[in-house]
A and B are shown apart, each in its own frame.
Chain A
């Protein structure tokens, strides 16, 4: 089966800075890929190139077979994207905003109404539909962003920190929603919450300074911690791969620096 997202040799340079420096990976249907890395590692920049917002300095991205650089509209129509911070037009109501998105996505009439109702119920927005988005709480704002991203039931879903700023209940609901959708879709999401990877993801990629330092299952990720680390094992591995030598590839790396301890 062909990959739904295919990234090859992706690079983005901002002046002298290589924010993304040779990233390649595939995401298949049914996969929920957790994209991890310290602040400034290049997660958002990678996602912006996958979704066609930024053009890469080098490398290619294909989404469902469409080259993002040469056929951006085709690629954008098969993907749903929740940008970092869930931007939305502040003076529109949630309902007007979703109607705008539905129009742009090419839905009309009863089909449009059905799509909006579906996204609204999945994101649990019923109570705030008629409120201007600028008056919504952070959590609801993010759900509007989520509803916008899933409105057209896209085969590829890209979410930049979808649970950031949500309370524990909302986090739980959003994770359940993502899990429900995951069978039919290829999902790429970034997060700083390592438990989320365990709870949600079928695979994790850690990037550091623009390069992939780990690519594998959450179990393999956790297994990299030595047996004597009993608490926060994922934290331990995260620190060891991102504060250690970034040149060392995850697959090749088998010894973590002794200086990073297992303390919480």
Chain B
């Protein structure tokens, strides 16, 4: 546990040593503001809630999260520091978890940066703050799921660009499986059981539940297991390919 925290602290500080952190947070805040107030029409809705705000999060994360996670392992491999890290007395799971938690905490901070939006909504009307908290929780867990995917793809390659593209594609597939047009098309080519199975892995539908205020154990468990699964995959990949 101590080792995990030490690695997490180093990784976290690394974001702030370069402009990455600031660029990410500014873009995240600008885009989430733009989508919410402009495209989402928070003002026109006349309804004091943050549906419009949360609706865009999956699509924001689709590009921003891979940008954050792409360097996690690809950079260690490119610069050779992976050899240093893996010959220190830490286990692979400790290292993977430490780095993952650092990026996850970072997205948490970016999310906290949107609290002014929440305050605005409270100022404009009388929202159901329980729903909003559920939305934040859902958004945070969904970011965790995307990050775990990004961490695993980052472990596949030395090249951050490849890591980015791979994780956007993977994340996209977990989003598309929740879109009605895609599911209708899948219905025509696959048996019902397969379609239902695919649909149950959709980040969108699990997140939608939560952003509408339904904190259900199964959605949290879903994102939790996605994180665990992809970090496990991350360990397998790194163990097999760390020296290549």
* A216 contacts chain B at the CB level, 8 A cutoff: no
* B188 contacts chain A at the CB level, 8 A cutoff: no
| Nearest CB in chain A: distance from B238 CB, A | 12
Q: Which of B21-72 contact A (CB under 8 A)?
A: none
Task: Report how many residues on chain A are interfacial, defined by Cβ distance under 8 Å.
Answer: 29
Assuming the A-B contacts A53-B243, A100-B6, are A90 and B87 also in contact, with contact meaning beta carbons closer than 8 angstroms in the complex? Answer: no
| Nearest CB in chain A: distance from B193 CB, A | 40
Contact B6 A88 (CB under 8 A): no
Q: Which of A77-95 contact B (CB under 8 A)?
A: 77, 79, 81, 83, 85, 87-92
Contact B14 A52 (CB under 8 A): no
Set B17, B80, B90: member contacting A104, Cβ < 8 A: B90
Q: How far is the CA of A100 from the CA of B6 in the complex (A)?
A: 7
* A163 contacts chain B at the CB level, 8 A cutoff: no
* A193 contacts chain B at the CB level, 8 A cutoff: no
Identity of the chain A residue whose Cβ is nearest the Cβ of B239 in the assembled complex: A55
| Nearest CB in chain B: distance from A109 CB, A | 14
> Chain B, 95-131, contact with A by CB distance < 8 Å: what is the 0/1 string?
0000000000000000000000000000000000000
Chain B residues whose CB sits within 8 angstroms of the CB of A76 once the complex forms: 87-89
* A223 contacts chain B at the CB level, 8 A cutoff: no
Contact B79 A87 (CB under 8 A): yes
Identity of the chain A residue whose Cβ is nearest the Cβ of B80 in the assembled complex: A87
* B173 contacts chain A at the CB level, 8 A cutoff: no
Contact B89 A100 (CB under 8 A): no
Q: Which of B124-141 contact A (CB under 8 A)?
A: none
Set A48, A85, A92, A105: member contacting B17, Cβ < 8 A: A92
Assuming the A-B contacts A87-B84, A89-B10, are A73 and B18 also in contact, with contact meaning beta carbons closer than 8 angstroms in the complex? Answer: no
* A148 contacts chain B at the CB level, 8 A cutoff: yes
Chain B residues whose CB sits within 8 angstroms of the CB of A96 once the complex forms: 13
* B225 contacts chain A at the CB level, 8 A cutoff: no
* B194 contacts chain A at the CB level, 8 A cutoff: no
* A103 contacts chain B at the CB level, 8 A cutoff: yes
Contact A52 B87 (CB under 8 A): yes
Consensus secondary structure, chain B interface = helix
How many A-B pairs fall under 8 Å by CB? 62
Set A51, A83, A100: member contacting B10, Cβ < 8 A: A100
* B242 contacts chain A at the CB level, 8 A cutoff: yes
Contact A83 B6 (CB under 8 A): no
Contact A91 B6 (CB under 8 A): no
* A200 contacts chain B at the CB level, 8 A cutoff: no
| Nearest CB in chain A: distance from B242 CB, A | 7
Identity of the chain B residue whose Cβ is nearest the Cβ of A96 in the assembled complex: B13
Identity of the chain B residue whose Cβ is nearest the Cβ of A103 in the assembled complex: B6
Contact B88 A104 (CB under 8 A): yes
* B83 contacts chain A at the CB level, 8 A cutoff: yes
Q: How far is the CA of A48 from the CA of B243 in the complex (A)?
A: 9
Contact A53 B81 (CB under 8 A): no
Contact A73 B90 (CB under 8 A): yes
Q: How far is the CA of A4 from the CA of B241 in the complex (A)?
A: 29
* B86 contacts chain A at the CB level, 8 A cutoff: yes
* A176 contacts chain B at the CB level, 8 A cutoff: no
Assuming the A-B contacts A73-B90, A73-B91, A77-B89, are A87 and B83 also in contact, with contact meaning beta carbons closer than 8 angstroms in the complex? Answer: yes
* A129 contacts chain B at the CB level, 8 A cutoff: no
Q: How far is the CA of A77 from the CA of B89 in the complex (A)?
A: 5
Knowing that A53-B86, A92-B17 are A-B contacts, what are 7 other residue pairs whose CB atoms are under 8 Å apart, sorted by A's residue number?
A: A53-B242, A77-B89, A83-B80, A83-B83, A87-B79, A104-B7, A148-B84
**Considering the complex of A and B, which 7 residue pairs feature the smallest CB-CB distances, nearest first?**
A87-B80, A77-B89, A76-B89, A91-B17, A103-B6, A51-B87, A83-B83
19 residue pairs of the A-B complex, CB under 8 angstroms, read A48-B243, A53-B83, A53-B87, A53-B243, A73-B91, A76-B88, A81-B87, A87-B80, A87-B81, A87-B84, A89-B14, A89-B81, A90-B79, A91-B14, A91-B17, A91-B18, A103-B6, A104-B90, A132-B17
What is the interface of chain B, defined by CB distance below 8 A to chain A?
Answer: 2-3, 6-7, 10, 13-14, 17-18, 79-81, 83-84, 86-91, 242-243
What is the interface of chain A, defined by CB distance below 8 A to chain B?
Answer: 48, 51-54, 72-74, 76-77, 79, 81, 83, 85, 87-92, 96, 100-101, 103-106, 132, 148
